């Protein structure tokens, strides 16, 4: 969620900007504000967490409609499209066959909360269908959630690209340089999602994913929201950017954001293999960027009780968690190293042991 919200905030000053399309710009200015993308991302995440994993499509959709209307009415000046705005304030909650990019910009939490790609796609479909029941609207949401699911589970970029091309038929053959010229704001799924995926694929880390997306122009905040959500799943979000994000959203949104990461960490979704242990602050990227940490990846690699081959097996992933999975029984993992991770600072050793135990019992 940090990734999506940061993309929205960082892209927002450039949404109607007609200047030169560059990757060199100030990440934050006083015009960097959240927009509809953030409000609906929060609304969807809250509905999913309230619903849990066992609900039917009908029940989930009822919750989604309620949550989206609640948040949308509260933040009514966030820049919604006309049709969506009418839907937000209407008692009629029928979908209106939209293929706008709204279904793709709000879907990021779905990519994190479910155990299989099939379930992820099903729930993504539900989140789209409450308004964007046009096939392109549904496809956009499913594609974005799929990329996030695959990225957070350690898939490499060529695998992700192939999956998106094969399953959704998007043309990912163009480079961002080829897209950039002539790209304009169309705010449709089919003219936003492939471009966002391409920006994600070309980026080298979280920040360059966002910069690349914004540099394409068009519907910048939504483009960067979608690319940022994918970037987070692949690279993690540096702590300093998480803090910039928190400064720029409402306290109520921050509460949902915190609850989301707590949910992933504490494994309230028991079938979710990464979730038990996932921490927003624990990616490799973050470890390099967190000045308060006395832990480095070198330390992790060098640790005598951390088997070398498990590290090498996971070398395609930026996530230390992946290494934990690949590692031998948890006694082998240096407890001090794990305990020093920022996600666990202040947490009891008992909790940590319980989490670790949970992971390895499942193997
Ligand atoms: Mg927007």
What is the mean pLDDT, run by run of 10 residues, along the chain of 363 residues?
97 80 92 96 96 93 96 94 92 92 97 94 98 97 97 92 97 95 89 97 96 94 97 91 94 93 65 32 34 41 36 36 38 41 39 40 30
Q: Is 185 within the bounds of a domain? A: yes
Span from the CA of 190 to the centroid of ligand 1 (angstroms): 17
The 10 Å Cβ neighbour count of residue 298 is 8
Residue 330 DSSP one-character state: G
pLDDT at 136: 97
Q: What is the pTM of this model?
A: 0.75
Residues 299 and 169 both lie in one domain: no
Residues 326 and 249 both lie in one domain: no
Give the distance from CA 120 to its chain's centroid. Answer: 13
Span from the CA of 344 to the centroid of ligand 1 (angstroms): 34
- The residue segments making up the domain with residue 344 are 284-361
Residues 67 and 144 both lie in one domain: yes
pLDDT at 194: 97
Beta-bridge mates of residue 188: 100
Q: How many domains are there within the chain?
A: 2
Span from the CA of 10 to the centroid of ligand 1 (angstroms): 11
Among residues 60, 134, 75, 61, which one has the least CA distance to residue 104? Answer: 134
Q: Is 181 exposed, middle or buried (0-12, 13-18, 19+ CB in 10 A)?
A: exposed
Residues 88 and 224 both lie in one domain: yes
Span from the CA of 8 to the centroid of ligand 1 (angstroms): 7
Q: Is 297 within the bounds of a domain? A: yes
Q: Is 246 within the bounds of a domain? A: yes
Residues 253 and 288 both lie in one domain: no
Q: Is 271 within the bounds of a domain? A: no
CA distance 82 to 196: 23
Q: Is 194 within the bounds of a domain? A: yes
Q: Is 276 within the bounds of a domain? A: no
Residues 248 and 289 both lie in one domain: no
Residues 317 and 218 both lie in one domain: no
pLDDT at 18: 64
Span from the CA of 168 to the centroid of ligand 1 (angstroms): 24
Residues 204 and 301 both lie in one domain: no
CA distance 244 to 6: 8
- CA-to-CA separations, 99 to 96, 142, 188, 192, in angstroms, rounded: 9, 13, 6, 11
Span from the CA of 105 to the centroid of ligand 1 (angstroms): 9
Span from the CA of 72 to the centroid of ligand 1 (angstroms): 12
- Residues whose CB falls within 8 Å of the CB of residue 42, separated by 6 or more in sequence, listed in order: 1, 5, 71, 253, 256, 257
Span from the CA of 83 to the centroid of ligand 1 (angstroms): 14
Among residues 203, 222, 287, 226, which one has the least CA distance to residue 1? Answer: 226
Span from the CA of 7 to the centroid of ligand 1 (angstroms): 10
Give the distance from CA 288 to its chain's centroid. Answer: 20
Residues 350 and 206 both lie in one domain: no
Residues 135 and 247 both lie in one domain: yes
Residues 149 and 228 both lie in one domain: yes
pLDDT at 164: 98
pLDDT at 182: 85
Span from the CA of 62 to the centroid of ligand 1 (angstroms): 24
């Amino acid at each position: 969620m940090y990734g999506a919200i940061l993309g929205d905030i960082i892209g927002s000053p450039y949404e109607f900007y007609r200047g030169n399309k560059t990757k060199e710009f100030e990440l934050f200015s006083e015009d960097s504000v959240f927009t509809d993308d953030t409000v609906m991302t929060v609304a969807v995440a809250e509905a999913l967490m309230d619903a849990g994993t066992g609900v039917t499509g009908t029940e989930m959709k009822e919750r989604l409609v309620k949550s989206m209307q609640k948040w949308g009415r509260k933040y009514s000046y966030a820049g919604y499209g006309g049709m969506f705005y009418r839907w937000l304030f209407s008692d009629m909650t029928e979908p209106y066959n939209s293929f706008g990019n709204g279904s793709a910009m709000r879907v990021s939490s779905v990519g994190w909360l479910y155990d299989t790609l099939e379930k992820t796609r099903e729930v993504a479909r539900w989140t789209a269908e409450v308004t964007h029941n046009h096939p392109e609207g549904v496809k956009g949401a499913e594609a974005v959630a799929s990329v996030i699911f695959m990225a957070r589970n350690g898939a490499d970029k060529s695998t992700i690209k192939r999956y998106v091309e094969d399953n959704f038929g998007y043309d990912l053959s163009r480079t961002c340089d080829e897209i950039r010229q002539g790209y304009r704001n169309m705010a449709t799924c089919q003219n936003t999602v492939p471009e966002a995926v391409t920006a994600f694929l070309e980026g080298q880390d979280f920040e360059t994913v966002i910069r690349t997306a914004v540099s394409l122009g068009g519907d910048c905040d939504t483009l960067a929201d979608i690319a940022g959500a994918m970037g987070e799943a692949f690279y993690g979000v540096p702590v300093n950017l998480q803090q910039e994000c928190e400064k720029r959203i409402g306290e109520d949104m921050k509460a949902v954001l915190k609850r989301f990461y707590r949910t992933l960490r504490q494994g309230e979704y028991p079938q979710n293999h990464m979730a038990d242990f996932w921490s927003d602050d624990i990616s490799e990227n973050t470890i390099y960027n967190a000045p308060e940490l006395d832990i480095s990846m070198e330390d992790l690699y060098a640790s005598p009780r951390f088997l070398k081959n498990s590290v090498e097996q996971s070398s395609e992933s930026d996530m230390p968690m992946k290494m934990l999975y690949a590692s031998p029984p948890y006694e082998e993992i240096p407890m001090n190293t794990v305990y020093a991770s920022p996600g666990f600072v202040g947490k009891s050793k008992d909790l940590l042991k319980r989490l670790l135990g949970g992971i390895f019992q499942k193997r």
